[in-house]
Structure 1
Amino acid sequence: MYEFHGWATIQENPAEIDAGQLDAIIQKIQLKITEFAWGSGLLSLNAANGSYYLHVGGFTNRKGVEADEVVSLYQLIGEIAPGSYGLLYTRDDENTEGFDNEFRVSVLARGRLQEQHDPFLSPCIPVIEDELD
C-alpha cells in the first residue's frame, strides 16, 4: 500500500511581501491540479484569511501515478512560489530501497523539496504497528 498526507502554505517569497503575483501563481497551481485524474484521495487548494493552502492525502494499492503527480505539484509550488512551505509524508510498504517500514518526509522550504527521515512514526513496526504473527 502507498499512503500519503501533506499540506503546504502558498506564499510568493520568504519575505511574505506581496509582489502582486499570487493570483497568477494560484492559477498555475489550479491548472496543474486539473491535469490530474485521481480516482480517489484528497487534493484541494483553498483560501482562508487572505492566504492559500494545499491539502493532499490518500491511500493507493500500489505506488502509482498519484505519487509522481503529488511530488511534481510540490516541486512546481517550490519553483513558482519559493516562499511556500509544507510537508508531504509518504509510506510505501513495497519500497525496495529499505524504506518499506518507515514514513519519508518531503520538506518544502525556500523553493526546494528535500526528502528527510521521519523521527515520529518510524519505524512503523513497532512504533505504530505490531509485528505480524
Structure 2
Amino acid sequence: MYEFHGWITIQVTASKAEQEQLEAIIPKIQLKITEYAWGSGLLSLNTACGCYYLHVGGFTKGKGQEADEIMSLYRYIGEIAPGSYGLLYSRDDENQEGADNEFRVLVLARGQLKEQRDPFLSPCIPVIENALS
C-alpha cells in the first residue's frame, strides 16, 4: 500500500509581495490538476485569507500513477512559483530499497525538492505499529 499526505503554500516568491503574478499562476496549477484522473484520494487547491494552498492525501493499492503525478505536481509548483513551500509525507510498504518501514518526507522550499527521512513516525514498527506476531 502507498500512503501519502501533503500540503503546499503557494507563493510566487519568498517575499509574498507578488499577488498579481500569483493570480496568473493559479489557473496554471488548476489546469495541471485537471489533467489527473484520480479515482481516490484528496487533491484540492484552496484559498483562505488571500493565500492559496494545495492539499493532497490518500491511500492507493501500490505506488503508481498517482504517486508520479504528485511528484510531478510538486515539481511543477516549485518551478512556476518558487516561493512556495510545503511537505509531502509518504509511505510505501512495498518499497524494495529498504524503506518499507518508514515514512519519507519530500520538502519543497525555494523551488527545490529534497527527500528526507522522517524523524517522527519512523520506523513505523515499533513507533506507530506493532510487529506481526
Report TM bin, short chain.
Answer: over 0.9
**1:29-62 Cα deviation digits (max 9, x unpaired):** 1000000010000000001000000000000011
Change in 2 beyond 3 A, CA 1:87/1:127: same
Question: Any runs of at least 4 consecutive aligned residues in structure 1 with deviations exceeding 3 A, and if so which?
Answer: none
Letter in 2 for 1:26: I
Partner of 1:31: 31
Secondary structure (helix, strand or coil) at the match of 1:89 reads strand
Q: Deviations over 1:60-116 (max 9, x none)?
A: 011110000001000001000010000000000000111000000000000011100
Matched residue, 1:83: 83
Q: Structure 1 CA distance, aligned partners of 2:62 and 2:24? A: 34
For residues 54 and 102 of structure 2, the distance between their equivalents in structure 1, rounded to whole angstroms, comes to 24
Q: Which residue of 2 aligns with 1:2?
A: 2
Q: Please give the residue correspondences for 1:1-133 in structure 2 after superposition, counting only pairs within 5 Å.
A: 1-18=1-18, 20-133=20-133
Q: Which amino acid aligns with 2:125?
A: I
Structure 2 regions of 5+ residues with no counterpart? Answer: none
Question: TM-score, length-normalised on structure 2?
Answer: 0.98
Unaligned runs of 5+ in 1: none
Q: Distance in 2 between matches of 1:19 and 1:10?
A: 11
* Identical-residue share of aligned pairs (%): 75
Give SS of 1:20's match: helix
- TM-superposed CA distance for 1:24, in Å, is 1.6
Structure 2 distance, partners of 1:77, 1:128, is: 32
